[in-house]
Amino acid sequence: MYDSPMTESKAMILGCGGLELTDEERAFYAVERPWGFILFARNISERNQISDLVADLRNCVNRPDAPVLIDQEGGRVQRIRPPITPSYPSASVIGEVYRKDPRDGLRAAWLMGRLHAFDLSAFGINVDCLPVLDVPVEGGHDVIGNRAFSNDPQAVVRLGRAAMDGLIAGGVQPVIKHLPGHGRAMVDSHLSLPVVDATLDQLAACDFVPFAALADAPMAMTAHIVFTAIDPDHPATSSSKIIAEIIRKKIGFNGLLMSDDVSMKALSGDFASKADAIFRAGCDVILHCNGVLGEMTEISAHTPVLRGAALQRAEQVMSLFDGADGENENTLRAEFDGLVAGNMSLV
């Protein structure tokens, strides 16, 4: 359980440059005190190295349970890969198991979340940016694609809940993404700004459904997407209208809301103006992933210390880090492999 003060933590989650921290990075983190960190493939080489890096990051901020995040979904978005961890299928494979047999699909979704938790907790990683709750539409860009469970919102609800519960059972906290929905994007938000022209009724009947059903999740990540029916001038990440009226009120999410990666090309302007816009819109925490120290320095200068509602939400997340159940890893792996074996060609 979390019991150390957080009043000095800044409202940011930051990456790092490589396999180990430089002296300059350590000094920066120690002074600027990010609330959490995120790892990518560039930070991964072997088991002891991962554990050492996670411990070093936490030592910098003198918080032994500081959140350390990773995108460990399966399929093409899996930062830790064989031989360190098994290769996992994409969410669409789990969706196909569900289509054939809903009971098997739900069990497979829970098992994959639980197995991710076994893997990640071994290194001290305590947050997985999973599940993807986006509902893809026909013709949409494959930036989501097979990362989604299904194009049926109700299937996404059930599978997303099972995956989230599996992570939590293993002592790893989930992040639902990408609010209020990335499935209609026709371009990759890593490279340019998607604009969605669906009506509010269309969005409410499909895109918002999984997020509303899982609105009790502890953390969520925004989408860098313009929804013209709601706010034609700002992407969701920097739209006070979308955050207040859609994410907080209509969808009902009251957990910790983080931006998607602020270094993605969908957002325009310098890092200072992007950070200002994100916090002004109502995001609790800003996320910067690429580990470029100059960019992090600019962002940190425009990032407040956690306070008010954002601090309360962060403290609530920290209170959830309370250990895993007593499941047997080998038994669960064998069961999972049996459930997905016939669908692995879809990975």
Distance (Å) of CA 194 to CA 186, 224, 233, 236, 314? 6, 7, 12, 11, 29
* Paired residues of 261 in beta bridges: 287
Q: Count the alpha carbons within 13 Å of 282 in the hemisphere toward its beta carbon.
A: 19
The amino acid at 331? T
Kind and range of the H or E run holding 279:
helix 271-281
Catalytic residue, chosen from 119, 128, 207, 260, is 260
Within 10 A of 299 (CB to CB), how many other CB atoms are there? 25
Distance from chain centroid for Cα 268: 22
Closest alpha carbon to 65 in 325, 286, 316, 321: 321
Could you tell me whether strands 285-288 and 10-14 are parallel, antiparallel, or unpaired per DSSP bridges?
parallel
The amino acid at 334? A
Count, residues in the chain: 347
| DSSP assignments along 227-245, one per residue | ETTTEEEEEGGG-HHIIII
| DSSP assignments along 31-99, one per residue | HH-EEEEEE-GGG-SSHHHHHHHHHHHHHHHT-TT--EEE-EEETTEESS-TTTS-----HHHHHHHHH
* Paired residues of 14 in beta bridges: 37, 288
Residue 14 burial by Cβ neighbours in a 10 Å radius (0-12, 13-18, 19+): buried
Is the C-alpha dihedral spanning 50, 56, 57, 62 positive or negative?
A: positive
Q: Is 260 a catalytic residue?
A: yes
Catalytic residue, chosen from 142, 190, 197, 216, is 190
Residue 269 burial by Cβ neighbours in a 10 Å radius (0-12, 13-18, 19+): exposed
Q: Omega before 83 cis (within 30°)?
A: yes
Active-site residue set = 190, 260
